[in-house]
Amino acid sequence: MDLMQRCFTGPPKALTFPRQPVPSPPMNSTVIETLRKTIRDVPDFPKPGIVFKDITPILKEGSLFRASVDLFLEQCRDQKIDKVVGIDARGFLFGSAVAYELGIGFVPLRKKGRLPYKTESAAYTLEYGEAEMELHIDAIESGEKVVLIDDLLATGGTSASAVTLIKKVGGDLVSAIFLIELEFLHGRKKLEPTPVISFLKY
Ligand code: AMP
């Protein structure tokens, strides 16, 4: 089957290409601990006092990148989901892989000024000052079931603005899923009553 045929025969049940080159490691606690050890703490980035959780060491190892995407997928399979919304920018990495595997649409939620078409926007508070996130007005159909994905939940300001925007355009938010949660910042409180799932808690 050539590429054009694949595009017009509906969503694939599984990946269209063989998975041979990268072996999947064992799941669950072993995987979680391996991912935890692989994440790199970078002190004082991007500002003094912030310990940045750098996930690029996970991304560069095929088996670990796959294992992390599989964690998200486990939470999404067997559910009716129409769209994955990924948060700018690392939410795009996991979110688009999940959407591809499920054969559903991916929607980017971006920082202000980066989306080309008409947008809805929501402001949120950062540690110092304010920021704004945007979503295309036609990105989600009214009533569509949506999963929100990002790499990390910190104070919850970014994801709370995502929740606001998804609801504003009529989306039905099923859950918000994060690879990492900084629990001491209590971000999930800002997302209530949305169910929040995270795999690596600090
Ligand atoms: P917040 O709005 O405080 O929940 O921040 C979440 C967003 O900022 C996510 O998109 C993260 O990618 C990023 N972020 C916040 N804190 C960190 C951190 N310590 N390490 C890595 N990314 C972070």
At residue 5, the pLDDT reads 52
Closest ligand 1 atom, CA of 51?
19
For residue 171, give its domain range: 79-201
E strands present in 44-142: 51-54, 83-87, 105-111, 119-125, 130-136
> Within a domain: residue 99?
yes
Residue 61 annotated as catalytic: no
Residue-wise burial string across 129-147, b where 16 or more C-beta atoms lie within 10 A, e elsewhere: eeeebbbbeebbeeebbbb
Domain-located, residue 119: yes
Mean pLDDT by runs of 10 across the 202 residues of the chain is 48 52 61 98 94 98 98 96 98 98 98 98 83 97 98 97 97 98 97 98 98
Q: Is residue 142 part of a domain?
A: yes
Task: Give pLDDT, residue 23.
Answer: 52
127 is catalytic: yes
Residue 137 belongs to domain with CATH number: 3.40.50.2020
Look at residue 109 and tell me if it is in a domain. yes
Q: What's the pLDDT score for residue 15?
A: 53
Of 51, 32, 24, 27, the C-alpha closest to 40 is 51
Q: For ligand 1, atom 16, which residue shows the shortest CA distance?
A: 154
Task: Say if 181 falls within a structural domain.
Answer: yes
Q: Is the pTM of this model over 0.85?
A: yes
- Ligand 1 mutation target, pool 50, 93, 152, most atoms within 8 A of CB: 152
